[in-house]
């Protein structure tokens, strides 16, 4: 395994040095001087500002090596899971997605490409767009496309998350508390970026993301409009309309442009393609109002309240979406999405009126299994660990010991959001470390992931805010 990992590293190094970086122009140097990048507690913090192309250049130049590595992993995962070539997917995306990217997002993407090239790495506009649209393409478009090839192979598991938002009588101070952790297969768990975007137009954004993406992907964000948000993917969903607008385009426009929950929702619904179908939990710290938006393809669920909570565990709450657009058995507690839904309701009831940042951190690290009725870190716990499951009853998308689960934790309350800050923990919110070499030695069926899996040692909870410095 070590030999394969070293070989992968050598290939990456050769690729990075394949194109000699041309000296930056004085204009480009001035753009980069306004940006900042530093690393802390496993996270990369990036500040970018200005016009769209300037922001993109700052992003691409300062994260060029991380973008190159993320693209390498994405190519390998795509080829292994689909059997198709990456360039084929990029061409499909070029026809389907590129014409639907709005001018400002497109300018930022072009800036990323220019910045990456300025660092001596080769990519293209169409590749970065396909990369940004990965969830739509791999999880929603591809399953439909496979049927045209008469393929009955399993569909790839979709990202999962655990999240809640609470306000009013549910919280200790009567204001909003939001928490979220992100789940995905571990080779792709590269969302260690915290990006502070100060655009010349629209609202400032502090969000988690992936190097080279103009949106979040894990979808945890705070804006200077007083909005906070997260999402959990709707499980068992398969609808997709390739004629409509990709989710990443709508998410970025909504988050940068919207000044209220209703405006944010309106932008997300416009041109909805069903891709990356999510339940969004949104809060407005100006009004202490919270909302849940569930975007199916044919149906939309939307609720708002000033007192209470919403939870997310990858199961649709809107009955039309649940019954008519998913294949989920909502009573099967063996399934992680049902088990976590039960656990969320238990915690909300138990801690009503007491919820604060510290409790929210504990929730994100929770290991109580409502199927086995005991502490048992597994696929069914809020802090998910599929890699610890010897079998997965009711969850046939996953093989035993799948390297998949929670790889972070984030919490924000109204006080922190007013300061454009949040607290986050890289790696599992419970603190359990993940050692790639030990995992592959114990589970050789996943040897194709050698060189793709990364270690995630235990890290502390750390606070980040806009404008922070190393």
User: pLDDT tens-digit profile of 421-442?
Assistant: 999 999 999 999 999 999 999 9
Alpha-carbon separation of residue 37 from 71, 336, 363, 425, 468 (angstroms):
20, 37, 30, 18, 10
CB atoms inside a 10 Å sphere around CB 83: 11
**CA distances from residue 391 to 388, 400, 402 in whole angstroms, order as listed:** 9, 5, 10
State the pTM of this model. Answer: 0.94
Tokens of 308: 């209470």
Share of the chain above pLDDT 70, in %: 92
| For residue 391, pLDDT beyond 80 | no
pLDDT digits 0-9 by tens, 36-76? 999 999 999 999 999 999 999 999 999 999 999 999 999 99
CA gap 207, 52 in Å, rounded: 17
Residue 464 has pLDDT above 50, yes or no: yes
Give the residue-averaged pLDDT of 453-458. Answer: 98
Q: Which of 133, 125, 138 is nearest to 79 (CA)?
A: 138
The reported pLDDT for the residue numbered 38 is: 98
For residue 367, the 8-state DSSP code is -
More confident residue, 332 or 148: 332
pLDDT for the residue 151: 65
Give the C-alpha separation, 198 to 213, whole Å: 16
- The string of DSSP codes covering 418-446 is HTTEEEEEES-TT---B-HHHHHHH-GGG
Task: Give the domain ranges of the chain.
Answer: 2-39+51-148, 160-465
Backbone φ, ψ for residue 305 (5° rounding): -160, 160
Q: Which two tokens stand for residue 207?
A: 């969000």
CATH topology of domain 160-465: Penicillin V Acylase; Chain A (3.60.60)
Q: Say which residue the tokens 């619904």 belong to.
A: 269
DSSP 3-state of 402: coil
pLDDT at site 11 = 47
Q: Check residue 3 and give its pLDDT.
A: 42
pLDDT digits (tens, 9 = 90+) for 171-218: 999 999 999 999 999 999 999 999 999 999 999 999 999 999 999 999
Identify the pLDDT of residue 22. Answer: 80
- Average pLDDT value for residue range 142-146: 93
pLDDT of residue 6: 44
Q: Residue 57: which residues within 8 A CB-CB, separation 6 or more?
A: 28, 31, 32, 111, 112, 114, 115, 118
Map residue 92 onto helix, strand or coil.
Answer: helix
Please give the structure tokens belonging to residue 45. Answer: 């913090």
Spatial contact of 280 and 269, defined as CB atoms under 8 Å apart: no
Mean pLDDT is lowest, of 10-24, 213-227, 298-312, 392-406, for 10-24
17-26, 179-188, 458-467, range with the lowest pLDDT: 17-26
How far is the C-alpha of 216 from the C-alpha of 157, rounded, in Å?
Answer: 19
| Per-residue pLDDT at 12 exceeds 80 | no
Whole-number pLDDT of residue 20? 57
Per-residue DSSP letters for 329-386?
A: -TT-TTSHHHHHHHHHHHHHHHTTTTB-HHHHHHHHT--EETTTTEE--STTSSS-BG
The Cα–Cα gap between 22 and 322 comes to: 53
Question: Could you tell me the two tokens for 434?
Answer: 């993940």
Q: What pLDDT shows up at residue 236? A: 93
The secondary structure of residue 158, as a DSSP letter, is P
Using an 8 Å Cβ cutoff, are 113 and 17 in contact? no
Rounded CA-CA distance 3/1 in Å is 5
Q: Over 80: is that where the pLDDT of 19 sits?
A: no
Is the pLDDT at 379 greater than 60, yes or no? Answer: yes
288: phi then psi, degrees, rounded to nearest 5: 60, 20
- Does residue 220 surpass a pLDDT of 70? yes
Instruction: Give the pLDDT score at 468.
Output: 86
Residue positions counted in the chain: 470
Helix then strand then coil, % of the chain, to nearest 5:
40, 25, 40
- Residue found under tokens 């070293």: 6
DSSP 114-131: HHHHHTT----HHHHHHH
DSSP state, residue 327: -
100-to-35, 242, 257, 273 alpha-carbon distances in Å: 29, 10, 18, 11
* pLDDT surpassing 80 at residue 18: no
Give the phi and the psi of residue 90 in degrees, each rounded to 5: -60, -40
354-377: average pLDDT: 98
Instruction: Report the alpha-carbon distance of residue 214 to residue 38 in Å, rounded.
Output: 19
Cα–Cα distance, 355 to 398 (Å, whole number):
33
pLDDT at 406 (0 to 100): 97
Q: What's the mean pLDDT when you consider all of the chain?
A: 94
Is the model's pLDDT at 418 over the cut of 90?
yes
């Amino acid at each position: 395994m070590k030999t394969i990992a070293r070989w992968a590293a050598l290939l990456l190094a050769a690729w990075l040095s394949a194109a000699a970086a041309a000296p930056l122009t004085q204009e480009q140097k001035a753009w980069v001087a306004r940006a900042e990048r530093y690393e802390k507690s496993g996270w990369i913090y990036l500040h970018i500002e200005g016009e769209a192309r300037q922001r993109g250049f700052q992003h691409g130049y300062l994260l060029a090596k991380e973008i190159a590595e993320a693209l390498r992993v994405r190519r390998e995962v795509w080829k292994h899971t689909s059997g198709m070539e990456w360039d084929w997917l990029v061409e499909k995306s070029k026809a389907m997605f590129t014409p639907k990217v709005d001018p400002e997002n497109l300018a930022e993407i072009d800036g990323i490409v220019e910045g990456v090239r300025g660092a001596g790495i080769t990519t293209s506009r169409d590749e970065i767009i396909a990369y940004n649209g990965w969830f739509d393409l791999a999880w929603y478009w591809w399953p439909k496309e496979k049927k045209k090839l008469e393929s009955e192979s399993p569909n790839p598991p979709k990202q999962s998350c655990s999240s809640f938002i609470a306000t009013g009588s549910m919280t200790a101070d009567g204001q909003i508390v939001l928490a979220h952790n992100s789940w995905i297969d571990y080779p792709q768990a590269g969302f260690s970026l915290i990006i502070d975007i100060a655009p010349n137009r629209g609202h400032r954004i502090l969000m988690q993301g992936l190097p080279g993406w103009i949106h979040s992907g894990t979808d945890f964000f705070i804006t200077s409009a007083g909005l906070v948000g997260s999402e959990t993917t709707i499980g068992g969903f398969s609808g997709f309309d390739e004629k409509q607008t990709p989710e990443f385009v709508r998410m970025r426009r909504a988050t940068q442009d919207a000044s209220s929950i209703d405006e944010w929702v309106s932008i997300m619904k416009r041109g909805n393609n069903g891709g990356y179908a999510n339940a969004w939990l949104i809060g407005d710290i100006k009004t202490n109002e919270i909302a849940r938006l569930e975007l199916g393809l044919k149906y939309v669920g939307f609720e708002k309240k000033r007192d209470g909570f919403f939870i997310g565990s990858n199961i649709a709450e809107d009955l039309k979406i649940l019954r008519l657009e998913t294949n989920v058995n909502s009573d099967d507690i063996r399934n992680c999405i049902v088990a976590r839904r039960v656990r969320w309701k238990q915690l909300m009831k138990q801690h009503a009126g007491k919820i604060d940042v510290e409790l929210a951190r504990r929730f994100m690290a929770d290991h109580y299994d409502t199927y086995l009725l005991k502490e048992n870190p597994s696929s069914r716990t809020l802090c998910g660990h599929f890699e610890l499951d010897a079998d997965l009853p009711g969850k046939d998308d996953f093989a035993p010991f799948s390297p998949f689960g929670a790889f972070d934790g984030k919490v924000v309350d109204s006080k922190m959001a007013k300061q454009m800050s949040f607290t986050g923990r890289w790696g599992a919110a419970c603190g359990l470390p993940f050692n790639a070499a030990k995992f592959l030695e114990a589970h050789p069926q996943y040897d194709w992931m050698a060189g793709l899996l990364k270690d995630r040692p235990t890290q502390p909870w750390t606070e980040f805010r806009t404008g922070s410095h190393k």
